[in-house]
Structure 1
Amino acid sequence: MIDHRSIDTNDEMPLTEVKKIAWILVLGALAPMLDSTMANIAVNHLASDFKSGIDLIQWVITGYVLSMAVAVPFTGWLTNQFDGKKIFILSEILFLLGSIGSAIAPDLHMLIAARLLQGFSAGLITPLLTSLLMSLAGKNAGQLMATVGLPMVIGPILGPVIGALIIEYMSWRWIFWINVPVVIIALTLIWWKLPHFPARDEGAHLDFVGVMLTSSASAFLIYGITKAAKAANLLNYDTVVFAGIGLGLIIIYIIWAAYRKTAAVLPLSLFTHRSFNASSIGLFMVGLIVNGPMLVLPLFFQNGRHMTIVAAGLSLIPQGIGMLVARPMIGKLTDKLGARYVVMFSLVMSLIGTLPFAFFNATSSMVLITIVLFIRGIGVGGVFMPLMTDAFTGLEKGDIAQATIGTRIIQNVGGAFGSAIVATAMANSMQNALSGMKSKIAAGAYHVSAQQMPAHIKALTAGFQMDAYHLAFWIAIVVSLLAFIPAMFLTNKVGQK
């Protein structure tokens, strides 16, 4: 039976009803979140099939991310103007078409075009999911965010695992075909079971200038940061130019938003709320705490421990299980205690689950690694959700859509920045170590015979590689410690009646 109800966001709904709505929306966001990481694993296979260079193939990944960034600022205006259910259905249909287009793409240009459509629709779905649910959350925001955040936290974990299995045993095209049944099931449930979310303010005008500025700023920043990861240099020409343009556009937007006040797509008044500011800083730092190690862990297993791509992907499953275990507990604790101590506890767990990787090597016990990954999963899952929840604390319901846009932009940029910092640090570490090794070889510093030298060089290179991985984990550890600072300014309900 089709649900014809319209949600009145001014009324408190029973938690059981809200959770039903949450799970339907989460199912709709699952494919986009998995797809954002599954495709990364197929880059080399795409290059082989399309007989193209990695620079062009990379746009299959980069285009998706940039298209997501461009779409995010439109969600606030769309929820003001149209029924939230209809926007969600349209976004799902666009993602479905993008998935089919990617799966049947006869050439690279069509694949990139289809991925742009996928990315744009995903950029609408993710903030829309958060915005609709937070408008109903009330005092149960933590538990709902635990549900809403599910695809966001398991996407980076399960995406590479599923992608690796598909690449190993099937065609890369199944990375996109697998979305089709998932999206069709989600569309069916949304159509039949999801109530309507009436337009919030049909008289609101689109802040076109603000949307263009925020979209362009985040796209330029992400692209510039991505170029830094590739060049292993934060000050390379492309990064300085594109990130510089992005920062310039942010300054222009601040001036524009000061003029537009509450009519701006992202009002500056949001930044007068302490919890929003603390959450935003924390979410940016989580980009490095999560994305940095997620970049390194598959390399650690494949190169450091000589595992196959499938075995490396499967080795990450304990981290995903840790996230799933933490999810319901973290949500309830956030509603009861506030975000401050939940985030602090989760940061401690994240540190416990990351610190050993700064010492693990090729011979470390896999049982111990599995336990540590499980603990890390609990910590990472517990950091993200309370931060997202607290970003909305103290805001009026009319500000939720704009706050969602702000937090999503910050997450996107923070995630790209985290990957770039780690990739740059590892590359520089390797370059410096290899350069030093070459100098020592030329100086005859290694007392090794000519026959033994190749094996000696191979062993030294493996050691340098492991040192680079250790450095990446140390960076995540330091950032985790620094994240305690914004955590201190989050909401605290302990001792309050």
Structure 2
Amino acid sequence: MLTNKVKEQGLPKEILMAAWAIALGAIAPMLDSTMVNIAIDKLNKDFNTTLDTIQWAVTGYVLALAIAVPVSGWLMNKFNGKKIFIGAVIAFGVTSVFAGISWDISSFILFRLLQGFSAGIITPLMSTLLVKTAGPDNLGKVMAIVSTPMIFGPILGPVIGGFIVQAASWHWIFFINVFIVLIAAPLMMKTIPDFEPFNKNSKLDIFGIVDLSLMSAALIYGITKAADHASFNNSETILWVGIGLAFAVSYLVYNRIRKNQTVLPINLFAHKSFLASSIGLFLANIAVMGPMLILPLFFQNFRHFTAIEAALALIPQGVGMLVTRPMIGKMIDKIGAKYVVIVSLILSLIGSIPLIFITDKTSMIWIAIILFIRGTSFGGIMLPLTSDAYTGLDSKQLPEAGVGINIIENLGSSFGSAIIATVVANVVQGLQPTIANGLKGYHAGFLVSAIVLVVIFIPSLFLTHKKNA
């Protein structure tokens, strides 16, 4: 593949250019998923529909993404990874155009589904191709590069989306993706090397793909309903989570019958680092994504910020992530994932525990410092966990590992948002609607996040440590 000898202090130009091109290709879906949320009100009015209906543009996108993830594993096994990735990025750009020119709510939801499916192909390919490009000695540095769209999406997406909606119209939230794709596609064609199919002999696992897709969609939809009802004890959540678990059980039985010759072999979890990373990533998505839901609401409800002002208030967190990103990549390659995660968890707790005590009177300077500290730790948790999931795996196992990690992260992110929203709602239920009582709910949500961070110490003990570093 890329055979240039790695320089001690950096990456060869070929690897660096390919990594940045792959990351650039993933920026559009990362930004899009967060920009749309801020345009919900405008979309609701323009399409003259109900909020429940317009929410399907968001929920449908997430479900389509979840359905596409298992398909991506088979595509990587059978076809040139470069062509599949570029094709998915271009497809995302094309469907963005159609979403922007949608003529009614039905067409809009349809094109959002197609967007989500394209994004579901892009995300696993991004990680897997980067792992293949980097090789084991440079995995940390390259994963630090791929974290860029993950940082820009949640932090800058709402800000950019808010300015676009105010200055132009919601249509441009989708049209802007076209400009990103027009820049990314030629760069990817030029700099990304060809990736031979990982396993040409693999057969299309139709049952496995359909089963995992339906499992992911049912579980995520059920968890989403828990967030809507602010309770897991509702008929919709119980029904859909039950269906999802039934698909999970059927997949386990099917995988056993097929002796792990499936789209996601369960024997991957026999690898200590993959199992530890999977558990850690599920929990980390709860601890990280849960507070990302209620922090903007805190600023809007208790500091009376606009949506854009609330998004701007979160920028110190993004700055913290950017500042530490290059150093974290080097540390992963030098000493392994274990102690990078442990130190980052301690740092994250230092930046998370004060949130349990913030009020409507807390200085914004102090809040900015807290968020910056939290941000510096996020990369040190997520990047090592992601990179260590691939440690020790054969190249033929990379597509399957990518499928597994993305399913776990999608479920963790949805579960995190749902459980934090449920905790906040249940704490304030029945209380007088005062500022003090409202803050109790948010404090409880931040407390849950801190507790989950503590639990992550357990799987982190089983991550890789390079003793001869």
Common topology (TM > 0.5): yes
Secondary structure of 1:139's match?
Answer: coil
Measure, in 2, the Cα distance between the counterparts of 1:255 and 1:154. Answer: 40
Q: Which residue of 1 aligns with 2:379?
A: 381
User: Which amino acid in 1 is paired with 2:240?
Assistant: F
Measure, in 2, the Cα distance between the counterparts of 1:189 and 1:344. Answer: 37
Q: Is the 8 A contact 1:305 1:361 kept in 2?
A: no
Q: Is the 8 A contact 1:67 1:123 kept in 2?
A: yes
User: Which amino acid in 2 is paired with 1:339?
Assistant: A
Number of residue pairs matched? 463
| 1:47-58 superposed matches below 5 A | 47-58=44-55
Measure, in 2, the Cα distance between the counterparts of 1:329 and 1:261. Answer: 41
- Following superposition, the deviation at residue 131 of structure 1 comes to 0.8
Residue 242 of structure 2 is aligned to residue 237 of structure 1: no
Q: Which residue of 2 aligns with 1:267?
A: 265
Q: Is the 8 A contact 2:38 2:307 kept in 1?
A: no
- Following superposition, the deviation at residue 13 of structure 1 comes to 6.1
Q: Which residue of 2 aligns with 1:490?
A: 463
C-alpha distance after superposition, 1:85-106 (max 9, x if no partner):
1101210121011110111111
Q: Which residue of 2 aligns with 1:480?
A: 453
| 1:36-185 superposed matches below 5 A | 36-136=33-133, 137-185=135-183
Measure, in 1, the Cα distance between the counterparts of 2:426 and 2:265. Answer: 40
Q: Is the 8 A contact 2:158 2:308 kept in 1?
A: no
- Following superposition, the deviation at residue 178 of structure 1 comes to 1.1
Measure, in 1, the Cα distance between the counterparts of 2:88 and 2:396. Answer: 22
Q: Which residue of 1 aligns with 2:314?
A: 316
Residue 437 of structure 2 is aligned to residue 464 of structure 1: yes
- Following superposition, the deviation at residue 223 of structure 1 comes to 0.3
C-alpha distance after superposition, 1:369-389 (max 9, x if no partner):
111111110111211000001
Measure, in 1, the Cα distance between the counterparts of 2:123 and 2:278. Answer: 17
Measure, in 2, the Cα distance between the counterparts of 1:327 and 1:119. Answer: 27
Which protein is bigger by CA-based radius of gyration?
1
C-alpha distance after superposition, 1:7-44 (max 9, x if no partner):
37xx5764322121110000000011111111111112
- Following superposition, the deviation at residue 193 of structure 1 comes to 2.7
C-alpha distance after superposition, 1:376-431 (max 9, x if no partner):
10111211000001101111111111001000000000000000001111111222
Measure, in 2, the Cα distance between the counterparts of 1:308 and 1:281. Answer: 36
Measure, in 1, the Cα distance between the counterparts of 2:150 and 2:114. Answer: 20
Change (3 A) 1:224 1:386: same
Q: Is the 8 A contact 2:199 2:396 kept in 1?
A: no
Measure, in 2, the Cα distance between the counterparts of 1:160 and 1:410. Answer: 25
Q: Which residue of 2 aligns with 1:356?
A: 354
Single out whichever of 361-370 and 187-196 deviates more from structure 2: 187-196
Match of 1:306 among 304, 307, 311: 304
Single out whichever of 14-23 and 264-273 deviates more from structure 2: 14-23
Measure, in 2, the Cα distance between the counterparts of 1:66 and 1:467. Answer: 32
Match of 1:432 among 430, 438, 441: 430
Measure, in 2, the Cα distance between the counterparts of 1:221 and 1:58. Answer: 17
| 1:443-458 superposed matches below 5 A | none
- Structure 1 runs of 4+ aligned residues shifted over 6 Å read none
Measure, in 2, the Cα distance between the counterparts of 1:376 and 1:192. Answer: 37
Residue 372 of structure 2 is aligned to residue 399 of structure 1: no
Measure, in 2, the Cα distance between the counterparts of 1:64 and 1:402. Answer: 23
Which residues of structure 1 form unaligned runs of 5+?
A: 1-6, 438-459
User: Which amino acid in 2 is paired with 1:202?
Assistant: K
Secondary structure of 2:233's match?
Answer: coil
Q: Which residue of 2 aligns with 1:31?
A: 28
Q: Is the 8 A contact 1:168 1:310 kept in 2?
A: no
User: Which amino acid in 2 is paired with 1:241?
Assistant: L
Measure, in 2, the Cα distance between the counterparts of 1:232 and 1:496. Answer: 49
The two structures have a TM-score, normalised by structure 2, of 0.96
User: Which amino acid in 1 is paired with 2:447?
Assistant: W
Secondary structure of 2:137's match?
Answer: helix
Q: Which residue of 1 aligns with 2:276?
A: 278
User: Which amino acid in 2 is paired with 1:185?
Assistant: I
| 1:216-255 superposed matches below 5 A | 216-255=214-253
Which residues of structure 2 form unaligned runs of 5+?
A: none
- Following superposition, the deviation at residue 342 of structure 1 comes to 0.5
Measure, in 2, the Cα distance between the counterparts of 1:258 and 1:325. Answer: 45
Q: Is the 8 A contact 1:261 1:268 kept in 2?
A: no
Measure, in 2, the Cα distance between the counterparts of 1:204 and 1:474. Answer: 46
Q: Which residue of 2 aligns with 1:454?
A: none
Measure, in 1, the Cα distance between the counterparts of 2:293 and 2:381. Answer: 18
Q: Is the 8 A contact 1:318 1:371 kept in 2?
A: yes
User: Which amino acid in 2 is paired with 1:234?
Assistant: F
Change (3 A) 1:480 1:265: same
- Following superposition, the deviation at residue 246 of structure 1 comes to 0.4
Q: Is the 8 A contact 2:338 2:460 kept in 1?
A: yes
Measure, in 1, the Cα distance between the counterparts of 2:301 and 2:170. Answer: 23
Measure, in 2, the Cα distance between the counterparts of 1:60 and 1:51. Answer: 14
Q: Which residue of 2 aligns with 1:440?
A: none
